Amino acid sequence: MNQQQTGNAATRSDEDLEKYIKISADSIAELRRTDVFRVISAVHPENIDGVTRGELATFIATKRPDLVGEVTDIMLEEFPADGWTMAAATGNGDDDNEGDEGKKGALALDYHIADNSTPPFIGIVLDDDDRATRVFWDLPTNEEERADLELLVIGAVRAANESGKTTLSGLLSAAATHCRTRRVDTPMTPLNQRVYDRLVAAAAEALAAQPSDAVPA
């Protein structure tokens, strides 16, 4: 097994893992969402103490439930070969389902991949019976570029749904913020900028039409 796939933080003391947190914060309690990537990416496969990215990801997610979405996005998008998931790390595959039950009836986003469209696209829809596409991006023909776009949009949808926003414009703005803050120390990549710009425009459009976007009581 790849060393970095190990995700059981219980094999390390909190002090062992807290050393990596101190790269960006004085303690796990003070770690900012925008610093999670920097902390996790600082773990190298050959580091002398044997701590893995999976262990650190699990440590952050269990100590800071508010950062679970960010940790999950980073591990999925940046380190997919590690095979880390929150459910696997905690040994509880029902966590996500329980969370979904609690969110039933709340306004939420979803994504839709239209491979049979001309051209194919990935779009963000409101997760309701209508499921009308609110914003979309054409899918690149290059497989790697397509995968990058899909992961970014899926991550933005997840971040929006975990933001606590209750309007369509708020959800789309939260999705845009996710794209902007993925790399806090550097400018947005062209891909992030493209997704961000369309999300901001869609959020503004939704805000202008706010009354029609209200969820029936």
Distance, CA of 204 to CA of 201 (rounded, Å):
5
Mean pLDDT value of segment 44-54: 79
The answer to whether the CB of 101 falls within 8 A of the CB of 95 is no
**For the chain, percent of residues with pLDDT exceeding 90:** 12
Task: Give the per-residue pLDDT at 51.
Answer: 84
Q: How far apart are CA 161 and CA 29, in angstroms?
A: 23
| Residue 202 shares a structural domain with residue 118 | yes
The whole domain housing 13 covers: 3-97
Residue burial 50-70, b: 16+ Cβ < 10 Å; e: rest: ebbbbbbbbbbbbbbeebbbb
Residue at 73 is within a domain = yes
Same-domain check for residues 80 and 112:
no
If asked whether residues 78 and 11 sit together in one domain, one would say yes
The CATH number that applies at residue 207 is 3.30.390
Quote the mean pLDDT of the chain: 79
Tokens 């901001």 map to which residue?
200
Report yes or no on 24 lying in a domain.
yes
- pLDDT at 181 exceeding the cut of 70: no
Task: State the total domains in the chain.
Answer: 2
Range in 30-39, 71-80, 149-158 with the lowest mean pLDDT:
71-80
Q: Last residue of some domain: 74, 97, 120?
A: 97
Residues 158 and 203 in one domain: yes
| pTM score | 0.54
How many C-beta atoms lie closer than 10 Å to residue 163's C-beta?
16
- Between CA 56 and CA 181 the distance in angstroms is 21
Same domain, 116 and 42: no
What is the tens place of the pLDDT at every residue in 71-119? Answer: 888 888 888 888 887 666 655 544 444 444 444 457 899 988 888 888 8
**pLDDT tens per residue across span 3-18:** 444 444 445 778 888 8
Q: Is 10 among the domain residues? A: yes
Token code pair at residue 176 = 């845009």
Predicted confidence (pLDDT) per residue in 161-175, tens digit: 888 888 888 899 989
Asked if the structure places residue 201 within a domain, the reply is yes
**Is residue 60 within 8 Å of 39, Cβ to Cβ?**
yes
- pLDDT on residue 142: 92
Residues 129 and 68 in one domain: no
Q: What is the pLDDT of residue 9?
A: 45
Enter the tokens of residue 58: 């699990």
Average pLDDT over residues 158-187: 81
Q: What is the pLDDT of residue 212?
A: 46
